[in-house]
Chains A and B, each alone.
Chain A
Amino acid sequence: MDLADEIIINAPKSRVYAALNDPEILRQSIPGCEELIKHSNTELEARVVLKIGPVKARFTGTVTLDTSGAPDAFSLTGQGNGGAAGHAKGGADVILTEENGVTTLRYTARADIGGKLAQLGSRLIQSTAKKLAAQFFTNFQQAVAPAEV
């Protein structure tokens, strides 16, 4: 399954890049994220509660960040296990461009899903994944550049 989209964040590139590496901002942004522990600059451990159709499960997993493309590109790979509900692994590539202090974030993401989650049919998974990704970046946008009240 592949996902791709782009969003605009009202903040300079350097701030967006830093936020992508900030566990607290990531924790606020990831839908259902209960805990995000930073083991090193590139190793994170996450606990996320996800609900897809009739399956609700707590996933525990590891996330590896790749910052070698800084400050323009950022990659992450991860895998998670939800026990009886199934398992997932995947990754995302993010490219940042800045114009007049506004950053455009383009991402492509891929995921392989197994177990009960996968059996629910790809249409449900695809739409849910899109919704979750959109929710992540909406949350991220809010966390990085809160809309002025």
Chain B
Amino acid sequence: MNDLTPDRDDRTAKLKGIGCARKRVEDARFTQGKGNYVDDIKLPGMLFGDFVRSPYAHARVTSIDTSAAMALDGVIAVLTAKDLEPLGLHWMPTLAGDKQMVLADGKVLFQGQEVAFVVARDRYVAADAVELVEVEYEELPVITDPFVSLNSDTVLREDLAPGADGAHGPRRHPNHIFLWEEGDKAATEEVIASADVVAEEMIYYHRTHPCPLETCGCVASMDKVNGKLTVYGTFQAPHVVRTVASLLSGIDEHNIRVASPDIGGGFGNKVGVYPGYVCSIVASIVTGVPVKWVEDRMENLMATAFARDYWMQGKIAATKEGKITGLWCHVTADHGAFDACADPTKFPAGFFHICTGSYDIPVAYVGVDGVYTNKAPGGVAYRCSFRVTEAAYFIERMIEILAIELGMDAAELRRINFIRADQFPYHSALGWEYDSGDYHTAWDKALKAVDYAGLRAEQADRVAAFKRGETRKLIGIGLTHFTEIVGAGPVKNCDILGMGMFDSCEIRIHPTGSAIARLGTISQGQGHATTFAQILATEIGIPADKITVEEGDTDTAPYGLGTYGSRSTPVAGAATAMAGRKIRAKAQMIAAYLLEVHDNDVEFDIDRFAVKGAPERFKTMAEIAYASYHQAIPGVEPGLEAVSYYDPPNMTYPFGAYICVMEIDIDTGETQIRQFYALDDCGTRINPMVIEGQVHGGLTEALAIAMGQEIAYDEMGNVKTGTLMDFFIPTAWETPHYTTDHTETPSPHHPIGAKGVGESPNVGGVPAFSNAVHDALRPFGLRHTQMPHDHWRIWRAAHELGLHG
């Protein structure tokens, strides 16, 4: 070494590896409007598709007359179920083991359902032709309430044999989909029957929608000369789409290329397969030219996958000192017209049984009834792992209600029930093995950061002032300590349509010491190209700036299950680290040869291999890469490449402590978030700036869901919130300031200890906002009121408590 040799800190900083707040490499194109989204794709001769959709929520389709539409200049074809039937494509399988109509086959089951597909020269002609398709309907009774549905004589799914089992076991009513149970029912009911204190409540997590900025769409292009089908689309799981497309169409999988270009947000909405994809592919095969289909905003909101819609009946038992002794929950899950939930096959209610949360609960039971209604299908994880936000909301509301029952402070009640750090790995009563956590440390840090005792004193003063008539504003302190379960998942129990939920990474190091890494995941704004390069930089000693990350093209990327459920970092991130380690192992042999020492006598040192005890004798990774391609090394293949398919041994369990301080105007129902403190523990932190961005975005979506966003239906099955005038999307005006913080408890089983963070803020944020509303009104007797907490509902809650005099 000499004075010119950079010191170790400088060399580490140059890599921009794990822990570096590296700027997102994607943003150069996004901030300049240079992203390439599916609607930017224009192929020669491309046609456009558009749907005729049902205005009725439940009706028989008695006739479809396409003659006027076909007569319009520029219309190439109008597809109906009759045209798809000979191909066996008028129905398609869903991810949940059910089947779904591609185009209305005899009846429609929800408003906005696809009835016919018009293919035309351009978008405008297609839209005009949609108006000309004459469909006659015969109205049928509409069911929008799952409780009514289970007692109704109206059979929604006449295609299902009465009494036959569904994909998840027996169905006890024609409108029933499954009953899924976990835990010890008898023991739980016994504990509840003999408990000192039991809190019971029906908690509704309303139906909402991921509403990504970019709606769903695709361009299907069948090359009849080569027999190759290419589908560009807004796919969160392109490889799965390829496999499904092959199984459905009979085209060999090597002759299908699925490519996701830039995606403008997914949030679970773009996991499933929609009729638009099937119709576009069929139309392209029939016409021999590319066909584009991109839905509009109203179509996205009323017909693509919704989220939540869980009616959660809960009972929580405790000793009079506040130690929780048991938890019981029964969910009535409204799945809409078809069961199209995107969950791992064995889990029809996702990972809802994480609902014991952060607490050491000795015995628990969960039962979930899935129910058909005349609403759009879906049930996707909207910025959360599978049904985890419902579980977190349920337990965090039950804790607050139990605190009321016990007359205890809700922060203290949480503290005495937390799983202790020395209990990890912790086996929950509902069957999970929590990998790591330190809840007490996080909780104390959060309470101290907001001066919890001071806030409670201020709140008490405000209540007194309110009662004296000096103010009309109350303060709510919304507490949440959530535990997530992400990173699906171990192939032994997690699959989608039979495909194990591993993920993958393939790395090629170029001769001059730069690299490309391809993954089975696909970024929709998460910044994978930034953060996965950082993992590799630390693992293989090549600067992140010299590593290209590429995803989403099934012809080039290794097979993977895609990006949703915060699985990219826990699974594909692990694959990336493991592939990096394979590169490093080979690099070690090459370095040893070049340095003329034994393999065991060199060690990895940030960006190089050096001889042990003689750090001045080293070969940098760039030198090693060059040698691997240009020098004959005995016993070592040329080149420097690796691929890893990673099957995680367990899920990861990120957690966090969120506190929301809210002011509520009792007379208008208006709310103002005065403070929001978010402490996240996502294990090893790859890029603190990307984490902060994820937390801000997730909290804002949580704010939307808790405070106003919903998909509401009237009794006729009309979607009442089908435009952004009625469907709440927060703008800068509504979005408060957030304070972020962290603790760092690495995952013991993940190669770099990372747990995933993209969805934590939504999982923890919703109960924090909701609990703040409830907490403000707790001194006046409010126990529970259903979300979303828009101004009108808050005003009504205050009114029912007699606060308007």
Residues of chain A touching chain B, judged by Cβ–Cβ distance below 8 Å, are 83-87, 112-116, 118-122
Contact = CB atoms under 8 A, between A and B. Distances in A.
B523 to A, nearest CB: 32
A115 B722 CA distance: 11
B52 to A, nearest CB: 7
Which of B52, B134, B721, B722 has most A Cβ within 10 Å? B722
A118 B725 contact: no
Nearest to A84: B131
B55 interface: yes
B718 A119 contact: yes
26 contacts: A83-B131, A83-B135, A84-B52, A84-B53, A84-B131, A114-B55, A114-B57, A114-B718, A115-B56, A115-B718, A116-B55, A116-B298, A116-B722, A118-B714, A118-B716, A118-B718, A118-B720, A119-B302, A119-B718, A119-B719, A119-B720, A119-B723, A120-B723, A121-B720, A121-B723, A122-B720
Contacts of B720: 118-119, 121-122
Contact of A114 (B111, B130, B135, B722): B111
B138 interface: no
B726 interface: yes
Interface string B169-184: 0000000000000000
A116 B716 CA distance: 13
A86 B721 CA distance: 15
Contacts, number: 51
Contacts of A113: 718
A122 B719 CA distance: 11
A114 B302 CA distance: 13
A83 B130 CA distance: 10
- Interface residues of B, dominant DSSP: loop
A114 B714 CA distance: 10
B217 to A, nearest CB: 20
B134 A83 contact: yes
A79 B714 CA distance: 19
B473 to A, nearest CB: 28
B726 A121 contact: yes
A113 B302 CA distance: 16
Given A83-B134, A84-B130, A112 B716 contact: yes
A74 B677 CA distance: 64
Nearest to B134: A83
A60 B57 CA distance: 21
Interface in B84-113: 111
B55 A86 contact: yes
Given A83-B131, A84-B131, A115 B55 contact: yes
Contacts of B719: 118-119
A83 B69 CA distance: 13
* Most chain A C-beta atoms within 10 Å of own C-beta, residue among B111, B298, B721: B111
Contacts of B298: 116, 119
The 8 lowest CB-CB distance pairs between A and B, nearest first, are A115-B55, A119-B722, A118-B718, A121-B726, A86-B55, A84-B131, A119-B719, A114-B716
Interface string B55-94: 1110000000000000000000000000000000000000
B356 to A, nearest CB: 40
Interface of B: 52-53, 55-57, 111, 130-131, 134-135, 298, 302, 714, 716-723, 725-726
A122 B111 CA distance: 17
B364 to A, nearest CB: 41
A118 B722 CA distance: 9
Contacts of A84: 52-53, 55, 130-131
Contacts of A116: 55, 298, 722
Nearest to A89: B139
Contacts of B717: 114
Contacts of B57: 114
Given A85-B55, A114-B717, A114-B718, 18 more contacts: A84-B52, A84-B53, A84-B55, A84-B130, A84-B131, A112-B716, A114-B57, A114-B716, A118-B719, A118-B720, A119-B302, A119-B718, A119-B719, A119-B720, A119-B721, A119-B722, A121-B723, A122-B720
Identify which of A84, A85, A113, A122 gathers the most chain B CB atoms within 10 Å of its CB: A84
A115 B111 contact: yes
Nearest to B57: A114
Nearest to B52: A84
A45 to B, nearest CB: 16
Contacts of A119: 111, 298, 302, 718-723
A114 B108 CA distance: 14
Contacts of B55: 84-87, 114-116
Contacts of B134: 83
A85 B130 CA distance: 11
A118 B725 CA distance: 13
Contact of A121 (B131, B302, B725): B725
B133 to A, nearest CB: 8
Nearest to B719: A119
Contacts of A122: 720
A86 B719 CA distance: 12
Nearest to A83: B131
Nearest to B715: A112
A144 B719 CA distance: 40
A60 B727 CA distance: 31
Contacts of B721: 119, 121
A9 B720 CA distance: 38
A61 to B, nearest CB: 14
A39 B604 CA distance: 93
A122 B131 CA distance: 23
The residue in B57, B717, B725 that gathers the most chain A C-beta atoms within 10 A of its C-beta is B725
A135 B718 CA distance: 27
Contacts of B52: 84
Contacts of A114: 55-57, 111, 716-718
A84 B723 CA distance: 16
A84 B726 CA distance: 20
Contacts of A112: 716
Contacts of B726: 121
A84 B296 CA distance: 15
Contacts of B135: 83
A118 B716 CA distance: 10
A115 B112 CA distance: 8
A86 to B, nearest CB: 5
Contacts of A121: 720-721, 723, 725-726
> Which residue, B55, B302, B719, B722, has most C-beta atoms of chain A within 10 A?
B55
B677 to A, nearest CB: 36
Nearest to B130: A84
Q: Which of A83, A114, A120 has the most CB of B within 10 A?
A: A114
Contacts of A85: 55
B271 to A, nearest CB: 25
A20 B798 CA distance: 48
A87 B717 CA distance: 13
A118 B718 CA distance: 6
A144 B103 CA distance: 50
A83 B68 CA distance: 13
Nearest to A54: B723
Nearest to A86: B55
Nearest to A122: B720
Contacts of A120: 722-723, 725
